[in-house]
Amino acid sequence: MKLNDSEINKLSSLMKQQRQEKGYTLEQTRLKLEKNGLSVARSDIQRIEDGDRKIPNPILINALCKLYNIDTVKVFQKIGYLDKKENLELSSEMNNMKKIKIYSSIAAGFGNFSNEVKETENEIYLPLKIEKDIKDLCAIRVKDNGMIPEIKNGSLIIVKKNTEILNNEIGVFFLNGDWFIKRKKVTERDDLMLLSENRECVPILVRESDDYKELGKVIGVYSTF
């Protein structure tokens, strides 16, 4: 959900203040989040503190709240992710959480099922305000090393389907019959490349003649689940 300027300022000021009160650097915060099972880049934390994200990652916000020992529900209320209700107790948070299925592969998550492709029995809950916020979300288990160290083999990614993938953002792509989790890169010559974080993987050049689709943006990563 897109935040207005006031909500962004509230969130950025709060996150920066809480980190500084804990005495953590950005890198220390990143490492602590990774230890707690959430793999993010230091720049992701910095962008929240700088107010650069109008649609901040709710998974990262939730993880930061837990790390800083602040009430997640109240923070989500403050920035408009949850309706404000007096005396809302943490024990009732399941009323505000939305259930998202975890799929065993990209193909399963995007509806290309076969006898070999099955969704997992697990589910994940995210704090989202209204039902339409989750209709295009899915969780997918990663089974390759192409995005190491950003996304480790076995990580769980949260993908928002039908969402624009900007330059340098990580997304899910379909290219000539194959599915990829890559970083989108548009060069100065306007060439479109799909890049891996793993330097052993060769960059992929997307040509006009290719069967190419951008399927969704990766909005969160759990290194363990």
Whole-structure pTM value: 0.54
Beta bridge partner(s), residue 140: 103, 157
* pLDDT given at position 161: 86
Buried b (16+ CB within 10 A) or exposed e, 60-87: bbbbbbebbeeebbebbbebbbbeeeee
Write down the pLDDT at residue 90: 40
pLDDT at 124: 65
Predicted confidence at residue 133, as pLDDT, reads 61
Domain covering 5-88 assigned CATH 3.40.109.10 in the classification: no
* Tens-digit pLDDT profile for residues 11-38: 899 999 999 999 999 999 999 988 887 7
Domain layout of the chain by residue ranges: 5-88, 98-222
CATH superfamily of 98-222: Umud Fragment, subunit A (2.10.109.10)
